Amino acid sequence: MIDNDKAVNKKVFSLVFLFSLLGCFFLSCSHSLHDEQLQFGIQAAQKDLWDEAIFRWKKAIRFHPNSAAAHNNLAVAYEKKGLLEEAKKEYETALRLSPENTRIKSNYQSFKEYYSSDKKEDEKEN
């Protein structure tokens, strides 16, 4: 009886181990795909290919929706393209995911300062 229990436990443990391993594999796989797209996007942006960078970072977000880095980078790209509402949304998402990240905070602060004067003028007009 005890031997039977041991055998069942061993099977359960093996199954749990196998599923954990598979889970880790898929997780690490999606993370590596995400990292790959993230890096690709950075390289594209450094070569001033911002449309390509946007495509890559959007893809990175598909693999890893909670990537603060991808959301931050996408925000920078949107800023560059003059898509301010989209940039704001992405910065806010990035900050929500990583509120202590000083680089994201710095980007968002600069973004707000750069466009605040225009906004104030718009508000006055309205």
Partner 1 sequence: MKKKINLAFLLVLVLHFSCASLNYWKVKVELPEVASLNLDQFKELVVSNFLVEKETKDFNLNQELVDFFSEELVQHFKGKIRRQEISWGEKDIFQKEDFWKTLLPGSEETLILTGSVNYSEEIRKAILEDYSRESEEYFPSEKGLAQRKFYTLNLSLYLIEAKTGEILYTREFKESRGYKNPKQTANFAFFDLMEKVRAKFFSNILGEERVEQRYLISD
Shortest Cβ 102–partner 1 spacing (Å): 9
Are the CB atoms for 56 and 37 separated by under 8 Å?
yes
Chain centroid to CA 4: how far?
Answer: 48
> Which residue in 9, 14, 30, 39 binds partner 1 (CB under 8 A)?
39
**Could you tell me how many residues of this chain bind partner 1 (CB under 8 A)?**
25
Q: Which of 41, 118, 56 is nearest to 85 (CA)?
A: 118
Q: Which of 101, 52, 61 is nearest to 81 (CA)?
A: 52
Q: Does 9 bind partner 1 (CB under 8 A)?
A: no
SS3 49: coil
Chain centroid to CA 73: how far?
Answer: 8
Nearer to partner 1, 3 or 124 (CB): 124
Q: Does 86 bind partner 1 (CB under 8 A)?
A: no
Are the CB atoms for 37 and 57 separated by under 8 Å?
yes
Q: Does 30 bind partner 1 (CB under 8 A)?
A: no
Binding mask 43-82 for partner 1 (x = CB under 8 A): --xx--------------------xxx--xx--x--xx-x
Q: Does 118 bind partner 1 (CB under 8 A)?
A: yes
Q: List the end-to-end C-alpha distance of the chain, in Å, as a whole number.
A: 82
Q: Which residues bind partner 1 (CB under 8 A)?
A: 35, 38-39, 42, 45-46, 67-69, 72-73, 76, 79-80, 82, 101, 103-104, 106-107, 110, 114, 117-118, 121
